[in-house]
Amino acid sequence: MAAARAELAARAEDMREMRSGCQLAAGGKQNLLGRFPLNVEIVREYSQFMNQDYSDLLLGTAMEKGGLSIQETSNFASLFTTACHKHVEEHLAISRQHFAAALGGALGGALGPQVETLLLKCLQARQAEIIPDNDTTVKAVFLQMWNALAGSKHPVPAVARLVQQEPADPTLKKCAGALVRVLARVALSDPPLRADVAVVGEPVPYSKEQHELMDGNLKVGRQCLVLLPPLTGPDPEGSRKQVKVRAAVLESQG
């Protein structure tokens, strides 16, 4: 009986948040529930992460301290960003199912056209609880990286040395938590922003309009490696995709 009452209380709380989110959506207000950051704040956070913590991780921890080459650093960046993105996607998907089930049960399974907006508002409100910024999240990310290396046919020894289930380097731990947090906010942004981690590690011709060179100098058109994807979103008029933060790159040879 006590368990049933607790479940009903939890569902009632979910419904209160959903109704509140629906009222905000109907009123044309965005990102007010649960103090979720506005897109301009997410863009600024992504840019700061790239230019500060992520730069320290790749140029300092990976290349200077770890002795990784540019290609090995690119491999590490791909492994790292993919693990962070996968962690975010998995946890948001589970929470989305929970909220959808609670809402569907309360309405007898009849979900109206506002459900997507409603679910988004609920996920925004609980983002810090769904994906907490703590050691548990960091350990989960590095476990994903370790498992990916274990399943790789051609693991890079230098990269494997950096990846541990209990990362000792403070920059490594800080970056894992920071990237998970900003990717979660990107995933829940409204209007939607996008950071496609699948492009990390890809060789591309360097463009000043599309790429942010993390170190050194590079002529336009020379090949470089993507180390952090660009952050894109609709332009102010919402008519086309616009680069909000350029992709972080390094020259592919050197």
Assigned token pair, 171: 């920059």
Task: Give me the pLDDT at residue 55, please.
Answer: 96
pLDDT tens, residue by residue, 163-193: 865 666 889 889 999 999 999 999 999 999 9
Residue 150 and residue 207 in contact, taking contact as beta carbons nearer than 8 Å: no
Residue 117 banded pLDDT, cuts 50, 70, 90: confident
Least confident of 8-17, 77-86, 192-201, 206-215: 8-17
Indicate the residue type of 102: A
pLDDT of residue 113: 57
- pLDDT: which is higher, 65 or 107: 65
In the sheet that holds 211-213, the strands lie side by side as: 203-205, 223-228, 247-251, 211-213
Q: What is the mean pLDDT of the chain?
A: 83
Helix axes 135-150, 70-106, angle to 10 degrees: 120
Query: What is the per-residue pLDDT across 134-162, written as a single tens digit (0 to 9) for each?
Result: 889 999 999 999 889 888 877 778 888 88
Distance CA 145, CA 44 (A): 27
The per-residue pLDDT for 155 is 74
Question: Residue 25: its pLDDT value, please?
Answer: 42
pLDDT higher than 90, residue 107:
no
Per-domain residue ranges for the chain?
A: 2-190
State the DSSP string of 151-195: T-SS--HHHHHH--SS---HHHHHHHHHHHHHHHHHHT-SSPPB-
